[in-house]
Amino acid sequence: MTLSAVLDRIDADLPDALERLRGFLSIPSISTDSDYAAECRRAAEWLTGELRGLGVAAEVRDTPGHPMVVGHTGGTGKSVLFYGHYDVQPVDPLELWDRDPFDPAVEDTPEGRVIRGRGAADDKGQLMTFIEAIRAWKAVHGELPGNVTFLFEGEEESGSPSLVPFLEENAEELRADVALICDTGLFDRDRPGIVTQLRGLLGEEVVIRGADKDLHSGSFGGLAANPVRALARIVARLHDETGRVMVPGFYDGVPDLTPELAAQWGGLGFDASTFLSGVGLSVPAGESDRGALEQLWSRPTCEINGIRGGYAGRGFKTVLPAEAAAKISFRLVGDQDPLVIRESFRAMVREMVPEDCRVEFHDHGAAPASRMDTSDPAFEAARRALSEEWPHEAAYIGAGGSIPIAGYFQKILGMDSMLIGFGRDDDRIHSPNEKYDVNSFHRGARSWARILDAIR
């Protein structure tokens, strides 16, 4: 009875909710770029204002990096911690955007209505689904749901450097019966998912230096070491011809897919060619002997994210470059140990660097994979609640991306997380023209209202 009133309230409030989201999206809270530190704080203050407006006791909490936002509804009941992040990825290449990334707007597209702007899907639009559900709850019940804590982070897109100390210092305040993390996607447009396993992440940057300056490739080429050539050899040896990663010991701790999970995922009817066709591809390029969802959700990978060195500008330049560099990330699963893999990778690279070159490594974060224990009845209750809202029944799924906080909640707070989100594969997160479907935003808020009603 009251649930349907809350859902009606969310429906009626959608235009205003979209306006609020537009305001939030117009704050350029890019966490990796220190030029935007004041904007990150402004986003934290904006959120604090939203929460206080609802009667939540909320504050901006300083950290050595960007601030956290913490809020409590007070009261009693099963305790729930809701997590999202207010920081966003950089926008470049800016010229590929069809609009100013921080002047968001609702657009009608052939696939439906979307709100477009940086952070629309990752993670501001998702984070707001929960706040909108709370707003409607309060309007109908006359009070906030009891015992809900909010934690909003501003460094998720830059490796969460302040997160672990913050969780350790505030463990008592933040610990809850269950954490709700809204930073993942739907399985497909009609079927929501609860993510039960996430891949971990290891980020490494390799810089190889040769001569003390760029050289003429005719005067010096052949005799002088070329760092770009050295780097290309190294990068080419990271995989074998079947797609296996060649870093020694890399597969230690990688579990085989259990028959139960294989059957569960097999039943989802995922088609690799259809999935790839959404981004202009058609042929799976990973480990040739593994299933598509297995490759995305439960196999580790090594990807070259970027490579630089020499002259890549307009025209042509016969240069023998002094320096070459690559940014490389590893997605990790099971019990793979990021620190052991880092050392093994570095040793392998050092071994291949020519005698006359020097190599330097930069650490870009390391977090292990995480798996959720779904035995808490809240998981099944949430799955049923989601199934009520969406056309197809909710599924337990995996996610290829990484959300290190899920692992820290387990390790530091002893708390399992329900990872539920409403993003779509075509949202272009981390890419130009990011969008969030109005349907995701609307049904997302309705989903949280149902879940809160079901688990408390």
Contact residues toward ligand BES (CB under 6 A) are 122-123, 156-157, 159, 183-185, 201, 365, 399, 401-404
- Strands (DSSP E) found in 262-338: 301-309, 319-320, 323-332
Provide the minimum distance between the beta carbon of 421 and Zn ion in the complex, in angstroms, as a whole number. Answer: 9
Indicate which of Zn ion, ligand BES, none lies near residue 159 (CB less than 5 to 8 Å, by partner kind).
ligand BES
Full strand arrangement of the beta sheet holding 323-332: 301-309, 323-332, 200-209, 358-367
- Give the Cα separation of 197 and 185 in Å (integer): 13
Residue whose beta carbon is closest to ligand BES: 401
Q: Decide if residue 153 touches Zn ion (CB under 5 A).
A: no
Q: How do beta strands 80-85 and 178-181 pair? A: parallel
Q: Please give the residues from 113 up to 132 whose contact with Zn ion meets the rule CB under 5 A.
A: 122-123
Q: Decide if residue 183 touches Zn ion (CB under 5 A).
A: yes
Q: Please give the residues from 44 up to 103 whose contact with Zn ion meets the rule CB under 5 A.
A: none
Indicate which of ligand BES, Zn ion, none lies near residue 184 (CB less than 5 to 8 Å, by partner kind).
ligand BES
Answer whether 190's CB lies under 8 Å from 392's CB: yes
Indicate which of ligand BES, Zn ion, none lies near residue 50 (CB less than 5 to 8 Å, by partner kind).
none
Q: Which residue's CB is nearer to ligand BES, number 16 or number 190?
A: 190
- Give the Cα separation of 163 and 152 in Å (integer): 11
Provide the minimum distance between the beta carbon of 201 and ligand BES in the complex, in angstroms, as a whole number. Answer: 5
Q: Please give the residues from 330 up to 349 whose contact with Zn ion meets the rule CB under 5 A.
A: none
Q: Which residue's CB is nearer to ligand BES, number 399 or number 438?
A: 399
* Count of residues that interact with Zn ion, criterion CB under 5 A: 3
DSSP per-residue codes, 59-105: EEE--SSSPEEEEE--S-SS-EEEEEE--B----SGGG-SS-TTS-E
- Strands (DSSP E) found in 310-450: 319-320, 323-332, 358-367, 370-371, 395-399, 417-420, 435-437
Q: Decide if residue 434 touches Zn ion (CB under 5 A).
A: no
Indicate which of ligand BES, Zn ion, none lies near residue 427 (CB less than 5 to 8 Å, by partner kind).
none
411 contact partners, CB below 8 Å, separation of at least 6: none
Q: Which residues of the chain form contacts with Zn ion (CB under 5 A)?
A: 122-123, 183
